[in-house]
Amino acid sequence: MSLQDKYASLLDAAKNMGVANLSVAEQGGALHVSGTANSTADYDALWNMYSQIDPNMASGDLMMNIDIKADAGASLKVTTDSTNLNIRSVPSTEGEIVGKAAHNEVVTLVEKTDDSWWKIRTAAGEEGYAYAQYLSPM
């Protein structure tokens, strides 16, 4: 079975979600998949599918580099379960908490620091780094 066959449902889902610039290539015994998802929900869905196909991602035969569509200045919704989102001085849980954004609050993207941490600004002007998993483009 080829790797594209093994991950066919994940690739089909990415296409159906409209992942932009979807690139799929087998190289060095691994399937490399990259592109830009339209939302954190789509991003999370793809990672959940990966973990269902390959529990604990143990085989190491998929390299997935999916970004989330959002540009500086974009409005983002805080998608925590019900709690406030910590805004930190540096992109790390070790950073000092310099502010908070409430559940469902709309904040502005300043920059994507990396796939995990985005610099944001609240309507009150608090600026710092927040975990991207809890931010969804509007």
Residue 21 has pLDDT above 80, yes or no: yes
CATH of domain 75-137: 2.30.30.40
pTM check: above 0.85? no
CA distance 16 to 39: 13
Q: Where are the beta strands (DSSP E) in 1-138?
A: 20-27, 30-37, 62-68, 75-78, 85-88, 97-101, 106-112, 117-121, 127-131, 135-137
Q: What's the whole-number mean pLDDT along residues 91-105? A: 94
What fold is seen in the domain 3-68?
Answer: Beta Polymerase; domain 2 (3.30.460)
pLDDT in tens, 56-94: 888 889 999 888 877 788 899 999 988 999 999 999 999
Question: What residues does each domain of the chain span?
Answer: 3-68, 75-137
State what percent of residues in the chain have pLDDT above 70: 100
Matching fold, domains 3-68 and 75-137 = no
Residue 10 has pLDDT above 80, yes or no: yes
